[in-house]
Amino acid sequence: MKHLLSTRDLDRDAALRILDTAEDMAATQQREVKKLPTLRGRTVVNLFFEDSTRTRISFEAAAKRLSADVINFAAKGSSVSKGESLQDTAQTLEAIGADGIVIRHWASGAPAVLAASGWIASSVVNAGDGTHEHPTQALLDAFTLRRRLHGEASRGRDLDGVSVLIVGDILHSRVARSNVWLLTTLGARVTLVGPPTLLPHGIGGWPVAAVHDLDAAIADTAPDAVMMLRVQRERMNEAFFPSAREYSAGWGLTSSRFRALPERAVVMHPGPMNRGFEIASEAADSPRSTVLEQVANGVSVRMAALYLTLAGGAE
């Protein structure tokens, strides 16, 4: 695998290969010495044109655990502010010795453009592009869900028949899109829930159900997991819902809704969370929340992604 650009173009075998490699990586992270020599002498650049906490430090930790050299590049404060193009920025990084470029960009499709451009020979890993995709987030979500369901026996298994609700600002969410493709490829049943204004047009072509009533969706789909999304106010330039209070009442995982979930249902959120808005602290901090597991598992999944793209997955 040369690049990791989206989950839409991963088939079941390719997805399971990444998840199983991440299991191998996770096993090495139980040891006292966590560092593997796998990418010694290689350089990974984190090229971030958008803010990030978890994704950036997770890719940095993953690259370092594999012994790669890591360069963190934030567009803010760089020559990008002087108008330097993506081509010139990427070629500059490669001239400095980058073998892999982990890119987050506000423009949907930027990582794919970079990978197809012929400007650079490096591997490209998409760390979130506009409202398009965030493949490593969906992979870490699937990894987390698989572990909660199958524990030690996760390797080789998909998510056949698992019921997942994805709730909230679907319109602006690359996390939702990447999860729709990956979870359904792995056999899960996905239901999207949100206010009509925050469900994308063209959703009819997606392999999912889409509804507006969260309480009915919880009752009807008996979810194994409820994935709450952050309301992405920075991508909104008009009123998508009347008020924060109405949003929470309709689509938030409030304490009372949390208590009404089936016993086995886990609560997921990619972070950053707006506590008290889309998710109550009671839900976010409960033992059934996987929020911090998702973060921890993200390192193993990104180790797998960097290993498979940069080392070609050979041995």
Q: By the criterion CB under 6 A, which residues form the site for ligand NCD? A: 54-55, 128, 134, 137, 174-175, 230, 232, 270-271
Q: Round to whole Å and give the CA distance between 309 and 215.
A: 42
Q: Which of 232/286 has CB closer to ligand NCD?
A: 232
Considering only CA atoms, which of 295, 293, 287, 298 is closest in space to residue 265?
A: 287
- Cβ–Cβ under 8 Å, residues 26 and 267: no
DSSP state of 59: H
What is the smallest separation between the CB atom of 174 and ligand NCD, expressed in angstroms? Answer: 5
Considering only CA atoms, which of 301, 313, 307 is closest in space to residue 55?
A: 301
Q: Which of 184/232 has CB closer to ligand NCD?
A: 232
Q: Which of 54/288 has CB closer to ligand NCD?
A: 54
Q: Which of 120/280 has CB closer to ligand NCD?
A: 280
- Cβ–Cβ under 8 Å, residues 150 and 19: no
* Cα radius of gyration rounded to whole Å, the chain: 19
Q: Which of 65/134 has CB closer to ligand NCD?
A: 134
What is the smallest separation between the CB atom of 260 and ligand NCD, expressed in angstroms? Answer: 25
Q: Which of 200/271 has CB closer to ligand NCD?
A: 271
Q: Round to whole Å and give the CA distance between 313 and 315.
A: 6
Q: Which of 47/120 has CB closer to ligand NCD?
A: 47
Considering only CA atoms, which of 167, 183, 180 is closest in space to residue 273?
A: 167
Burial class (CB in 10 A: 0-12, 13-18, 19+), 230: buried
- Cβ–Cβ under 8 Å, residues 3 and 115: yes
What is the smallest separation between the CB atom of 220 and ligand NCD, expressed in angstroms? Answer: 26
Beta carbons within 8 Å of 9's beta carbon, 6+ residues apart: none
What is the smallest separation between the CB atom of 137 and ligand NCD, expressed in angstroms? Answer: 5
What is the smallest separation between the CB atom of 268 and ligand NCD, expressed in angstroms? Answer: 11
What is the smallest separation between the CB atom of 134 and ligand NCD, expressed in angstroms? Answer: 5
Q: Which of 100/270 has CB closer to ligand NCD?
A: 270
The CB-nearest residue to ligand NCD is 230
Query: What does 41-73 look like in DSSP terms, one character per residue?
Result: T-EEEEEESS--SHHHHHHHHHHHHTT-EEEEE
Q: Round to whole Å and give the CA distance between 118 and 132.
A: 22
β-bridge partners, 266:
225
Q: Which of 141/158 has CB closer to ligand NCD?
A: 141
What is the smallest separation between the CB atom of 132 and ligand NCD, expressed in angstroms? Answer: 10
Count of residues making up the chain: 315
What is the smallest separation between the CB atom of 136 and ligand NCD, expressed in angstroms? Answer: 9
Question: Strands 189-193 and 163-167: what pairing?
Answer: parallel
